[in-house]
Structure 1
Amino acid sequence: MSVLPLVFTSGWASGINAYAVVLLFGVFGATGLTDEVPASLQRTDVLIIAGVLFLCEAVADKIPYVDSIWDTVHTVLRPVAGAVVAALLAGENGSLPELAAAAVGGSTALMSHLVKAGTRMAVNTSPEPFSNIAVSMAEDLGVAGIITFALFHPLAAALIAGTLLLLGIVVLAFLATKIRRFLRRRAQRRQEKRPVGAEASRAPW
């Protein structure tokens, strides 16, 4: 059976929470729930590192503005993780060249990451922190559910992941105006602070 649906789904999930993907795959493989997971993801050191980083993300992802900083840092990390996981899955299965799998997993992870990061910027325009927590928990549960489902029903999971990705792009397009306003307000605040420092630097001796 082709591993492409699982590669696509893992790429989508990696763009949202790459550490959760690695941790879930590793745990499922180590406990014998599936034979689809490569041994390299089941190693104890990989599971420990993924677990620690997942806990860090679980905290940072629920704090307004900190989540956007975290997303910025992971703009490269999540697509790379998606590509690596995809290549490992393809290497274990043998039905898809590893390079092609890496391209699918990495590009899908990048798209879902951009949707996540853009949505979070829009959520951060809200003055209360509870929306961040709700969105973060929904993302974590969604990743856990779709990865678990993908191991047993890869094609159906890939269709769900593709639908969620398209919906996310549509929602992000509607939120673009809100994000631009937020960025303009932040730029204005920075400009308002600059003259104070500039005047202080030009103070007479």
Structure 2
Amino acid sequence: METAASLPIVEVLGIAASASLLSGWRLYLVVLATGLAMRSGMVPLPDHLQSLQALASPWVIGIAAIGTLAEFFADKVPWLDSAWDAVHTLVRPVGGALLALAIVDPGEPAWQIVAFLLGGGGALLAHGGKAGARAAINTSPEPVSNIAASTAEDVATVGLLWLIYEYPWAAAGVAALLLALTVALLLAIRRLMRRMFGPRSPRAEDAQP
């Protein structure tokens, strides 16, 4: 496991970016998983991330656990998940920005500013992609796809957190993958919205009786 002194800034920023993007999906789960990992040592974190020790507070873990439990069930009920996402439009980006700020060494104020800005922006993008995709899924009358998408987000969040904390060198790649997925979701949602609400072609209008 790498030490704080040997952890390159690229890996640090990769961890910050990945955690922020995942916060756009599951902020409470990210905080809970990180806090439990810090407290129990079950998942060895890089020494550099000892700055996140505050997340290991029983109070923080308890509140994050309540939020995680509430989100777990709310996110699997069609349209309730969209309402939950709407309420967290500000919460997730702020949480992602603060997580990124905590991950970067306080002795590097310039990088902290970069991490804070990019962390908030990344969490907002991920939140937008997730919320838009779930709203699109909710147009389907059957609940299975909603539950499947929510469960996939839960599993992916925990698995990717373990990956970036256990193997910091892979964090930049994980962040790039998450960003690409987020952009792809946003573009797909944009195309869907244009098809649903865009101007109808004259040929389509002429075909109507």
Q: Shorter-chain TM-score: what band?
A: 0.7 to 0.9
Deviations 1:73-128 (A, max 9, x none): 11100000001111111146x45643322112111111111110111111011111
1:133-172 correspondence runs (5 A): 133-172=147-186
Are residues 183 and 127 of structure 1, via their aligned partners in 2, closer, same or farther at CA, if it must alter by over 3 Å? Answer: farther
1:192 counterpart residue number: none
Residue type matched to 2:28 in 1? Y
Distance change (3 Å), C-alpha of 1:73 and 1:180: farther
1:23 aligns with 2:35: no
Amino acid at match of 2:166: F
| Partner residue in 2 for 1:90 | 104
Aligned to 2:88: 74
Percentage of pairs with the same residue:
39
Partner of 2:206: none
Number of aligned residue pairs: 183
1:9 aligns with 2:23: no
**Partner Cα separation in structure 1 for residue 81 and residue 22 of structure 2:** 17
Task: Report the CA distance between 1:181 and its aligned residue.
Answer: 6.7
Q: 1:182 to 1:63 in 2, by over 3 A?
A: farther
Distance 2:159 2:93 in 1: 20
Compute the displacement of 1:157 (Å).
3.0
Cα 1:61/1:181, change in 2 over 3 Å: farther
**TM-score if structure 2 supplies the norm length?**
0.80
Q: Flag the 1:165–1:138 CA change in 2: closer, same or farther, 3 A.
A: same
CA contact (8 A) 1:118 1:179 kept: no
Over the aligned positions, Cα root-mean-square deviation in angstroms equals: 2.0
Cα pair 1:15 1:111 within 8 Å, conserved: yes
TM-aligned CA deviation for residue 179 of structure 1: 4.2
Structure 1 SS opposite 2:70: helix
Unpaired stretches in structure 1, ≥5 consecutive residues: 185-205
Q: Distance in 2 between matches of 1:180 and 1:68?
A: 20
What is the match of residue 138 of structure 2? 124
